[in-house]
Structure 1
Amino acid sequence: MSTRGAGPLRSSDQGVSVPLGARLVVPQSVVTTFLRLTGANRTFVSAAGARRRIRARSLRPAPFGPPSTLRSDVRVDVELRGAWPVYRVTRRDGVSSGSVVYAHGGGWVGEIVSQHWHLIAQIAAESATTVVVPIYGLVPFGTAEEARRGVVDLVASSTGPVALAGDSAGGQIALSAALSLRDAGVVVPRTVLIAPALDLGWSNPRIPEVQPSDPWLGTPGGRVLSEHWRGALDLRDPTVSPLFGDLSGLGALTVFSGTRDVLNPDAHLLRSRAAAAGVSLDWHEGPGLIHAFPLLPTRSGRAARRVIVATLREAVAG
């Protein structure tokens, strides 16, 4: 593998944290082994692990600003909207069409990390668009309803074509916001979902079949996080679990999911329900790939990022 221009692998809330813009290609087997050796799933494999993570992050919040290694052809600005810092990433040459509101993952308790920022910068530069990045409130202080309202407001206040995107927990937020916007008469033309969390009740009977092969996520800790994130809402409320929303009338969806991800069975349900509702869905399943594989420094991750960039470029073209 080549590591030119890149720092060493290190563990983070979202897994392997590496500069995606660097010339780094790692075999998936190395990534999977690294995740297991570093205990990347410790937040999710037990209820106690999730509670420890919640306490640790509430006492010592993680930094969320962009890394200094971000590509040089983008500009980053930030403003405060209510209680949220909101970043805007644009091309330095000023060439831009429309915008993408991106909700980062991290299990509703993990802050945005470097691989999110590098994907965001790639989207901004190569899709020639503005990427809007809300730093939403996390468990135990933030809730699904607050995140939904904040993302809906960002889309509603944008000018020109706007797309939505999000990974993992951020995929849940993005799809919940798309449903809410549809109800308000605003159809987002494209929502890109990377390994989205869709049913926070973790009720799919196929999850136990996938669990032994997933080195990252797990239901015991996931249920603890879900209980915090739902706030006063029922777990089947579409604001919390968008899989249970009425999909009819939504704009087009793009979904990435690996088969070694406990969220994959719900992605299949979303695919079938979208088809039944007449919603266009562009499906990208990675056989043998793990959670959020488009964010990883692998060949499959790099190929997925090219598709994401092209999809969003088309969605926001003026």
Structure 2
Amino acid sequence: MNPHRSPTTGRAEPRPGRTWQAAPVPSLRHELLAHTVPRLRGATAPGDELDLDAERARLARRDAARVPGLPTRAVPGFARRFEVETRTTSGPTPFPVHTIRRRGSRPRTTVYYLHGGGYVAPIDAAHVRYALRLAGHLDAEVVLPDYPLAPTHTWRDSHRALVDDLAVRTARQERVVVAGDSAGGGLALALTASLRDLRGHLPSHLVLHAPWVDLTSSTPTTYALDATDPWLSIRTLDAYAGWWAGDPADLGRPEVSPALGDLRGLPPTIVFAGTRDLLVAGCRLLADRAAHDDWPLTYLEAPDLIHVFPLLPGLPEAARAWRRTQEFLR
């Protein structure tokens, strides 16, 4: 029997010494979201096959209907309190980079935030709301790159441009925090490792929420966790991973699966993960490797919580995660 899997619930059990009690038991609102989010997002149930052609068509329809820019209209009071500056990167595949600031502020901190969404979904209102929290409470400007997405694009179309953009910011400002959720969390780690390899100025901190760091799905327990994650599906993620990599040979590259690369010399990092999240397997791998590679990583694993719970609206567990994030960045 897997020593980190409950014989009664089938859920991943927190590893000894790593449990972070975000709540004595999951809140009622958390459980409501755990049951409604999959329906809202059309998650693939365990055992279901993903129709790749139908999924490509669905994503194409969504992209065709997408309004350019940040979804700020979904955030009440945005225009009154915040301003957005947008520029476009150069290179063969240009993409917009948005910077959010409080009106009238002069931020001394930059948060470079990579949004999640399986490398196929754009920035959504939850990302904007979290960016506003970062901007407001940390007195920061928040940079949101709207990087090109799969299946139309692969990691090769944006990785170097993102590294170059980040390098400019870390060279001119002392306090740059790189953060991200899910796929964006993995991308945040990959960009920082690439910046280290180029001997650039590193960010001061990394903040990663349930980062997707092993796109090969080779981390032990990943497939077992598929049965208990109410949101993510391994079949869907494997398809998205293949699209993002472009070439199966690229799946294990550190730019795509940073947990399999060199983790030495990285800045202080905090990782949040819940045990009802199949990506917790990769997060545990990061924690194991951090201890071996002398990487200052704070790993907080919350029993029975779902994917990217710190970004979900109105959760007491998210409020506690936010307080820990603020403490970490002080």
TM-score class normalised by the smaller sequence: 0.7 to 0.9
**SS, match of residue 102 in structure 1:** strand
Tell me, in whole angstroms, the C-alpha distance in 2 between the residues paired with 1:181 and 1:276.
21
Q: Could you tell me whether the CA contact under 8 Å between 1:195 and 1:291 is conserved in 2?
A: yes
Indicate the larger mover: 227-236 or 276-285: 227-236
Q: Normalized against structure 2, the TM-score is what?
A: 0.81
Does the 8 Å CA contact 2:46/2:227 hold for their aligned counterparts?
A: no
* Structure 1: segments with no counterpart, 5+ residues: 1-24
Q: Is the 2:88–2:95 contact (alpha carbons within 8 Å) kept by the matching residues of 1? A: yes
2:296 is aligned with 1:280: yes
Taking a change above 3 Å as real, the CA distance of residues 278 and 254 of structure 1, as seen in their structure-2 partners, is same
Question: How has the CA–CA distance of structure 1 residues 60 and 29 changed in structure 2, closer, same or farther, with 3 Å as cutoff?
Answer: closer
Cα distance between partner residues in 1 of 2:101 and 2:145: 15
For 1:118, the equivalent position in structure 2 comes to 129
Does the aligned pair in 2 maintain the 1:51–1:224 contact within 8 Å? no
1:311 Cα deviation from its structure 2 partner: 3.6
User: CA deviation digits over 1:233-282, x for unaligned, max 9?
Assistant: 52111011001111111111110101000000110110010111111011
Residue pairs, 1:1-318, within 5 angstroms: 27-38=29-40, 40-42=42-44, 46=48, 48-49=50-51, 51-61=53-63, 62-63=66-67, 64-68=69-73, 69-70=75-76, 71=78, 72-82=80-90, 83-158=94-169, 159-160=172-173, 161-186=175-200, 187-232=202-247, 233-297=249-313, 298-312=315-329, 314=330
Mark the CA change 1:52 to 1:78 in structure 2 (over 3 Å): closer, same or farther. Answer: same
Return the TM-score normalized by structure 1. 0.84
Structure 1 stretch 295-304 or stretch 38-47: which is displaced more?
38-47
In structure 2, the residue corresponding to 1:268 is in which secondary structure? helix
Kindly name which structure, 1 or 2, has the bigger radius of gyration based on alpha carbons. Answer: 2
Give, in whole Å, the separation in 2 of the partners of 1:262 and 1:123: 27
SS of residue paired to 2:158:
helix
RMSD over aligned Cα atoms:
2.1
The superposition leaves residues 24-72 of structure 1 with CA deviations (integer Å, 9 ceiling, x where unpaired) of x961111012124446313997553454333222243134523222544
Q: 1:171 to 1:39 in 2, by over 3 A?
A: closer
CA distance in 1, matches of 2:81, 2:229: 36
Q: Deviations over 1:182-203 (max 9, x none)?
A: 1111222211111100110111
Give yes or no for contact 2:44–2:50 (8 Å, CA) kept in 1.
no
Q: Deviations over 1:81-115 (max 9, x none)?
A: 23211110112132311311101001111111101
- Quote the sequence identity (%): 32
Offset of residue 130 of structure 1: 1.0
Query: Does structure 2 conserve the Cα–Cα contact (< 8 Å) formed by 1:43 and 1:53?
Result: no
Question: Does the 8 Å contact 2:71/2:128 carry over to 1?
Answer: yes
Structure 2 residue runs of 5 or longer lacking an equivalent are 1-26
Classify 1:37/1:30 alpha carbon distance in 2 versus 1 (closer, same or farther; 3 Å). same
3-state SS of the aligned residue for 1:166? strand
Tell me, yes or no, if the aligned pair for 2:135 and 2:142 is still in contact at 8 Å: yes
